[in-house]
């Protein structure tokens, strides 16, 4: 039985873990869609059109696009750039009044990091 939680009312929600990133990108997908074929992508090409294929090459093409994001496959996932690149990023969730997950947020760049980057570019 699921534990009833209090709705979350903080900026990002409740910290539930961290995601490691080693390719400057992360995908949001249902785990049942990932197969051993996901990484069998052939030669990389940043010229693939959207929607991008559901494989590593498609994910990389999405994050190399002007927007840095893209739909993978036919609604099988979304890939996003991880801000400034590789690292370990916090994952937060908010809960609704029934204790179910309402939102999930990965914070790639904090306000402090954004200000630091602005100062370095001046």
Query: Would 81 be classed as within a structural domain?
Result: yes
Query: Would 47 be classed as within a structural domain?
Result: yes
Model confidence pLDDT, tens digit, residues 45-85: 666 777 888 888 888 889 998 999 999 988 999 999 999 99
Distance in angstroms (rounded) separating the CA atoms of residues 15 and 90:
7
pLDDT tier, 21 (very low <50, low <70, confident <90, very high otherwise): very high
Query: Would 3 be classed as within a structural domain?
Result: no
Q: What is the mean pLDDT of the chain?
A: 83
Domain count, the chain: 1
Model confidence pLDDT, tens digit, residues 81-101: 999 999 999 999 999 888 899
Strand ordering across the sheet containing 77-81: 25-29, 77-81, 69-72
Helices (H), ranges, the chain: 56-64, 111-120
C-alpha distances (whole Å) from 65 to each of 6, 47, 90 are: 39, 9, 24
Query: Would 6 be classed as within a structural domain?
Result: no
Using a pLDDT cut of 70, give the percent of the chain over it: 74
Report residue 91 as tokens. Answer: 């994952």
Model confidence pLDDT, tens digit, residues 102-118: 999 999 998 876 555 55
For residue 20, pLDDT beyond 60 = yes
pLDDT score at 118: 57
Distance in angstroms (rounded) separating the CA atoms of residues 89 and 112:
15
Domain that holds residue 94: 14-120
């Amino acid at each position: 039985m699921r534990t009833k939680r209090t709705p979350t009312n903080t900026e990002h929600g409740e910290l539930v873990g961290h995601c490691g990133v080693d390719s400057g990108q992360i995908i949001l997908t249902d785990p049942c869609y990932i197969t051993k074929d996901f990484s069998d992508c052939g030669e990389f090409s940043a010229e693939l059109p959207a929607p991008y294929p559901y494989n590593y090459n498609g994910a990389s093409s999405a994050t190399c696009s002007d927007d840095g994001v893209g739909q993978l496959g036919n609604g099988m996932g979304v890939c996003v750039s991880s801000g400034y690149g590789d690292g370990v990023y916090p994952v937060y969730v908010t809960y609704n009044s029934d204790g179910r997950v309402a939102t999930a947020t990965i914070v790639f760049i904090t306000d402090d990091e954004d200000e630091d980057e602005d100062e370095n570019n001046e």
